[in-house]
Amino acid sequence: MPSFQAFIPFLAPLVMIAAAAFAGRHPGDPRRVQRFAEASGVAAVVVALATLLELLLGGRQTSPLIGVAGLGFAARIDALSVSMLLLVSVVGLVVLRFSRNYLAGDPGQARFSGGLTLTLGAVMTLVIAGNLAQLLLAFIATSLALHRLLVFYPDRPKAVMAARKKFLVARLADLALAASLAILWLRFGTADIAAIAEAARAAPAGAADSALIAAALLLALAAMLKSAQFPSHGWLPEIVETPTPVSALLHAGIINAGGFLILRFADVMLMAPPALHALALVGGFTALFASAVMLTQPAVKVQLAWSTIAQMGFMLFQCGIGAFAIALLHIIAHSLYKAHAFLSSGTAVDAVRAASRAEAGAPATSWRVVLAGTAAVVLAALAWMLLPPATDPASLTLAGIFGLGLALLALPAAEGRGISGSLAVALGTALAASLAYALLHAAANRLFAAELPVASLQSGAAAAILMLAFASFALLALLQLTAHRWIATPLGRAARIHLANGLYIDAFADRLMARPLTSSQS
Amino acid sequence: MDAMPSSSAAAIAATPDSASVLAAARSAARRIAPLWPLDSFVAVNPYFGLADHRFADAAASLGRTAGARSTMPRAFYAAALDDGRMTLADLSAALASAPPPSARLFDAGKLAAFAVSTEGEPTAPLDTLADIAGRRTRRDWAGHVVGRISSFAARHFDGGQASWRNPSAPYGLYAAWKAEAAIDRTSEIAGITGFRAIVGALPDDRDAMLVESVERLALTPGQLPSYFERLLRSVGGWAAFARGRDWPGELAGKQGETVVDLLAIRLAHELALYGFLSKDALLRGAFAAARRTYAAPVDPLSEAADCLLQSAYEHAWQRRFLPALLQPASLPASARPAAQAVFCIDVRSEVFRRALETVAPDVETLGFAGFFGVAIDHVGAGGTATDALYPVLLQPRFMVCDAVSPDAAATKRLGHDAGRVMRGFRGAAVSSFAFVEAAGLGYLGKLAADSLQLGRRSDAAVASGRPELDPGEQEGRLTGIPPADRLASAAAILRGMGLTENLARVVLLVGHGATTRNNPHAAGLSCGACGGHSGDANARVAAAILNDPAVRAGLVGMGITIPADTLFVAALHDTTTDLVSILDAETLPRSRAHDIALLKAQLAEAGRAARIERAPRLGIESDPSAEARVMARARDWSEVRPEWGLAGCAAFIAAPRALTRGLDLGGRAFLHSYDWRKDDGFRTLELILTAPLVVASWINLQYYASTVDNRVFGSGNKVLHNVIGGFGVVEGAGGDLRVGLPMQSISDGRKLVHEPLRLTAVIAAPVDAIDRVLAAHDHVRALVENGWIHLLALDGRTMRRRTAAGWRAVEAG
């Protein structure tokens, strides 16, 4: 006898869709529309909490299917879906509340609110999906609903152009996902996602055939397209043509759908190492490339967009090396950070001013950098002796990259007016960050253990990828630590210009999408 | 085509020489109004540089070079005629005071018909080569060029948004661009074949480059001024920012180069497109035709009718506004007031002063420029960077540091270090991933705190501590104010305020600031007279000077006696919340505790009244929570209209407060206290007309221009703003830097909150005294005679209007 609690998660998208419908019926009454939307936002958070309660009390479960021939709608309750539903509903509520005053007076405010709630409804449907059909439909619906928000000001040509680019990429992602899910459905003989995961987990090693590998590769492709990975990233920096709350929602709640797909099918992905390697390579490269570009960007929202591309790359890299639980932690932490960063992007004037006021008195010198960097890393290592993290190669690689990040604290520390104050701050930060990292990783691995396998990829290829990744991140860190030596050289100047232009990937895309030149040949 | 031979003959006859090219470039640069960075965002007259032209001529010229409107769409005036706010009599009055050529062409009936026609509605600006190339190839080359220049300039001027510092920032703009353009491949990928080679072949010397370009584009001297101005206005935001960069040098008498550099960059793009499309005969023909339009004279009548409608609209407003000023004034109280409170002339003070006078009838209020005559570079506690706390028309006299204990300074420095470390952690490649994993979850708390408006509640944007006036030294600059200068400043301040006799026991010097959150344009709500900063430091310095016993002793010798029991007290008016806080209250003499407590209570009560008055305009219904909701705006990170700033500003009144006391001016008037009978040699009048009046007109014209054409003179939609380099905003991902005010500052989304009216200045002084000042200051006379402000003189019961033709009586009502 199916218990009605299993259907609880559906209430979240339903209240959102109701709010969207209300907005559609009352376009001339933004106040009531806004009140309805915010109430729905609160309700969705409550539903997410109730779902969490159900997970704790009733355990992991999939609701009975509403559909035919095994295809349709079913709610999945497990650690992954509950985490994502909580995340999306909290971010959604914040964004809805923010939009009340931010869009006040805009003639399209009711339409805006309707677009936000519809998009949120679609995302929520996606993250609770227990059936392939629901997953695909919600995936497509999310991007279509979002599209309406991206062209909220249809008279802005650049916004329309950017949305068109995004639209093309999204349709490619839809195709890849549809093909991948079709193969999975046929291959596993069920559209029940939990059943597929179970079957995949139970499959003996080497059970993967070419169809399954193709499905995994297509899934990886869909994830990379959805999460703006190189070279399909160009639309994301341009899409800041949209009102700030849309950017916040997109960067915190939608862009990570690619990662969510991989996590949802983590067991399937583990059967197909080539697909994981592809993710690790593309994600890792994107992380390095986009974070370097980020350093050169003078506009706050564009800089945030490049940061998101990089963070999504890093998250997919984590997926690709099998650190799925850590990737989910990364998604959640990044979403909260980035939602706040976009919504508060109006403080950039103060931030830049504060930065220039805190300008260090002395330039970094090599010995100071080495001293401070070594101290930070040693401290981090000490912290990990207190709280030992996992010791498989993937976790060690990630810990190593984390350590490289801490070593970079040497730069601000070494620039201090008197080194002692900033060194103390840097070392304190390194210690606190290491402890937080170790704790959070341990917690993530434990909390998500049921859904997200802690895998160790034991092949030569996997080991090579880990080494390559660490070496690349180390190189980038080293370049930053030695920046004062090369930044003003001709090569350094040229590199900055090329990177500031995102290595022209987008210029080529624009050229392809623009009308051909008609005159010069005439 | 028949004109071809003669014009090419003229071209050969007049190949521009290098001096005339450079002169044309510099004159185009001077027509651009400056723009200040957002952290010191002060109002600028967007027509600065055109003020020596008549308003209608400037409008016609801006239509050609920027595609700008200078008046409202006709429907606006038609509606005013329709609902009776404006009448045929107003149209006649506007015609009567218009310059002859336009007055002859119309009568009131014709004008009324014109208001409902679409005849001669503004058209597109003159074509640049990029415009023509865009039409020929059906690609948006003009947009491409703006995008490239904007991308370069943002990186060049970046104040620290990008953590990878731009190594070419110290170079001149043109040199830096040329070096970068030789590397950047974007334009070639976009389709301008050979762009880097074309740029590489340009002279390194900017002036030589200008001359060579003019020759290659076959421009004649007569075409240059309009063409250059058109090019600059096609990247108008960056041109304005460049002029702002040149400004301090220009004040010091140096020639600014940044705008001319920008012109050279823009010109280089024209040249590149010309070279790339050189085989296109149709394009060459179209450009030849465009060149001729640049030399064509501006049609002075093209905007005349629209400008007449605007004049009539202003006349209608004055007809309603002025009579109140002619009512018999209440006699000035001769008894000693309980307290005097000096506020900034800012229109927002009018609401508060009126409220305070109602609450405390025995308190006298005065209006004076909010920097209190103290032009200082200010260094906050423990810092090294200075804030320029003075009107942008002035230069600083002194540098003043806050007095801080070594402990406080060390704490502050540690805070700076911590901030730098966290920014490095968050912002560097590689470490940003570590940052997100270690600290990202913590942002849940920040999201909650900001959404629920938790956290520190700031009553006022008090940025300063107690100022240290005694001489000192910081980073090679002398700090403090020497005693002799204190005495001179004190005398100037008191005379300027007209506060040389009958001083009360407490004289409150009230600076102002605004508390808002997450608002790139926050500085625009602060005190413009303090360079877009909060005025607390200036008020503190002024109070300290005036309380200095040595200064008071010296003043006696200058004929000014400050009663021994008079105490000057600094305060800060937070215009968002209407809270007035008394600064350094703990350092005031114990014996005055009662006076201060009473004043505090009165200020609090006045604040309540002011908030309740402002609430309806903010769209808040009058219910018991209205006041709290006005205050909440200061703390709301999602609020795009924390307050209305100076929206609505329409009048400037320099007169004794007795003349306006009791009148409800609706927060629309700058009020400067002035009594010509006390003004020895009319020196204060000269100061008022050349400084506060000019600043008020800048503010007024900024609001005016942002309202009539927000695309050109405003900064567009706040919800799309993207802060660039920490100094400016663009709309969306890129494009030209935006100037002026956002739409949200002038409109509530449904209707305009700022009514576009050129400033009506009413000066209570004899006309010949005013004329003497105008005769000595051409730039002020130009503002008046060219129709940028309405100047009226009030002498007893008679009011007269000054136009280019002289003074004429104004019939009241």
- With 60 as the cut, is the pLDDT of residue A192 above it? yes
Can you spell out the DSSP letters for B130-170? HHHHHHHHTS-HHHHHHHHHHHHHHHHH--SSSSS--TTTT
Q: The whole model's pTM is what?
A: 0.94
Classify B266 as helix, strand or coil.
Answer: helix
φ/ψ of residue B233, rounded to 5:
-75, -15
The answer on pLDDT for B7 being more than 60 is no
- What does DSSP assign to residue A75? B
B637 interaction partners in chain A (CB closer than 8 Å): 98, 343-344, 346
How confident is the model at residue A155, as a pLDDT?
93
Print the SS3 string covering A105-140.
Answer: CCCCHHHHHHHHHHHHHHHHHHHCECEHHHHHHHHH
pLDDT tens digit string along B387-422?
888 888 888 888 888 877 777 777 877 888 888 888
> Strand, helix or coil at B506?
strand
- Range with the lowest mean pLDDT among A70-84, B174-188, B286-300, B390-404? B390-404
Please give the pLDDT value at position B334: 67
* CA–centroid distance for B428 within its chain: 36
Cβ-based contacts of B425 with chain A (< 8 Å):
405, 408-409, 412, 429, 433
State the average pLDDT over residues A83-102.
Answer: 97
The pLDDT of residue A517 is 45
The arithmetic mean of pLDDT across residues B13-37, rounded, is 88
Rounded mean pLDDT, B239-256: 92
pLDDT score for B688? 95
**Pairwise CB contact (< 8 Å): B186 & A504:** yes
Tell me how far apart the alpha carbons of residues B154 and B158 are, in angstroms, rounded to a whole number: 6
Percentage of residues in chain A having pLDDT higher than 90: 69
Q: Is B719 exposed, middle or buried (0-12, 13-18, 19+ CB in 10 A)?
A: buried
Q: What is the pLDDT of residue A51?
A: 96
Instruction: Give me the mean pLDDT over the B141-167 stretch.
Output: 92
pLDDT of residue A456: 66
B490-515 pLDDT, tens digit each? 999 999 998 998 999 999 999 999 99
Q: What pLDDT, on the 0 to 100 scale, is given for residue B9?
A: 42
Within a 10 A sphere around the Cβ of B455, how many other Cβ atoms?
11
Q: Which of B99 and B676 is assigned the larger pLDDT? A: B676
Asked whether the beta carbons of residue B440 and residue A295 sit closer than 8 angstroms, the reply is: no
Query: Confidence class of residue A516 from pLDDT cuts 50, 70 and 90?
Result: very low
Confidence of residue A208 (pLDDT cuts 50, 70, 90): confident
State mean pLDDT over A208-237. 94
Residue B460 has pLDDT above 50, yes or no: no
3-class DSSP state for residue A481? helix
As a whole number, mean pLDDT of residues B281-289 equals 91
pLDDT higher than 80, residue A286: yes
Work out the pLDDT band at B792, boundaries 50, 70, 90: very high
pLDDT of residue A460: 86
Residues within 8 A of A (CB atoms), B 727-746 only: 727, 730, 732-735, 744
Q: What is the pLDDT of residues B704-748, one digit of tens each?
A: 999 999 999 999 999 999 999 999 999 999 899 999 999 999 999
Helices (H), A29-75: 30-58
pLDDT (0 to 100) of residue B393: 81
Q: Is B126 exposed, middle or buried (0-12, 13-18, 19+ CB in 10 A)?
A: buried
Residue B667 has pLDDT above 90, yes or no: yes
Tell me which of A409-423, B30-44, B216-230, B413-427 is least confident: A409-423
Picking from B418, B435, B750, the nearest residue to A425 by CB comes out as B418
Query: How sure is the predictor about B788, in pLDDT bands with cuts at 50, 70 and 90?
Result: very high
Residue A396: its pLDDT value, please?
Answer: 87
Minimal Cβ distance to A433: which of B434, B446, B517:
B434
A488 vs B contacts (CB less than 8 Å): 167
> What mean pLDDT comes out for the span B26-55?
94
Rounded CA separation B86/B313 (Å): 6
Q: Which helix (H) or strand (E) holds B11?
A: helix B4-13
B273 Cα to chain A: minimum distance (Å): 11
Question: What does the pLDDT read at residue B729?
Answer: 97
Residue B568 pairs with which residues in a beta bridge? B507
The span from the CA of A123 to the CA of A138, in Å, is 7
Asked if pLDDT for residue B203 goes beyond 90, the answer is yes
Best A486, A519, A521, A522 member to test B by mutation, with max B CBs in 10 Å, is: A519
Pick B139's closest partner by Cβ from A299, A514, A522: A514
Contacts of A493 in chain B (CB under 8 A): 167-168, 179, 183
Average pLDDT on A8-25 reads: 96
**pLDDT value of position B150:** 97
- Residue A1: the pLDDT is 42
Chain A contact for B452, CB < 8 A?
no
List beta partners, residue B763: B654, B793
Contact residues, B window 36-65, toward A, CB-based 8 Å cutoff: 38-39
Which of A258-267, A422-431, B241-250, B610-619 has the lowest average pLDDT?
Answer: A422-431
pLDDT at B540: 93
Q: At what angle do helices B236-251 and B141-157 cross, to 10 degrees?
A: 40
Closest chain B C-alpha to A256 CA, distance in angstroms: 14
Residue type at A499?
Answer: L
In a mutational test of the A interface, the residue from B165, B279, B430 whose CB has the highest number of chain A CBs within 10 Å is B430
**How many other CB atoms sit within 10 Å of the CB of residue A142?**
25
Provide the pLDDT for residue B89.
93
Contact with chain B for residue A60, Cβ under 8 A: no
pLDDT band at A520 (very low <50, low <70, confident <90, very high): very low
Contact: B420, A287; criterion CB under 8 Å: no
Q: Which pLDDT belongs to residue A305?
A: 97
User: Nearest by CB to B159, which of A238, A356, A497?
Assistant: A356
- pLDDT at residue B11, as a whole number: 43
Q: What is the pLDDT of residues A360-382, one digit of tens each?
A: 555 666 777 777 778 877 877 77
Are B62 and B297 contacting, i.e. CB atoms less than 8 angstroms apart?
Answer: no
Residues within 8 A of B (CB atoms), A 272-301 only: 287-288, 291-292, 294-301
CB B109 within 8 A of CB B88: yes
ipTM of predicted complex: 0.93
What is the pLDDT at residue B8?
A: 43
The pLDDT of residue B30 is 95
| Chain B residues within an 8 Å CB radius of A348 | 161, 520, 723, 726
pLDDT (0 to 100) of residue B329: 61
Of A94, A295, A344, nearest to B429 by CB-CB distance is A295
pLDDT at B4: 38
Read off the pLDDT of residues A316-369 as tens digits, 9 standing for 90 and up: 999 999 999 999 999 999 999 999 999 999 999 988 888 877 665 556 667 777
pLDDT at position B330, please? 61
> Mean pLDDT in chain A?
90
Q: B454 or B144: whose pLDDT is higher?
A: B144
Assess A328–B contact: CB distance below 8 Å, yes or no.
no
On the question of pLDDT at B13 being above 80, the answer is: no
Number of residues assigned to chain B = 813
Chain A interface mutation, best of B41, B184, B413, B436, highest count of A Cβ atoms under 10 Å? B436
From the list A301, A493, A498, the residue facing B168 with the nearest CB is: A493
Read off the pLDDT of each residue in A120-141 and give the average, rounded to a whole number.
97
pLDDT at residue A45, rounded to an integer: 98
Q: What is the mean pLDDT of chain B?
A: 90
How distant is the Cα of A74 from the closest Cα of chain B, in angstroms? 30
The residue of chain B nearest to residue A413, with distances taken between CA atoms, is: B421
Which pLDDT band, with edges at 50, 70 and 90, does B332 fall under?
low
Cβ–Cβ gap A343/B518 under 8 Å = yes
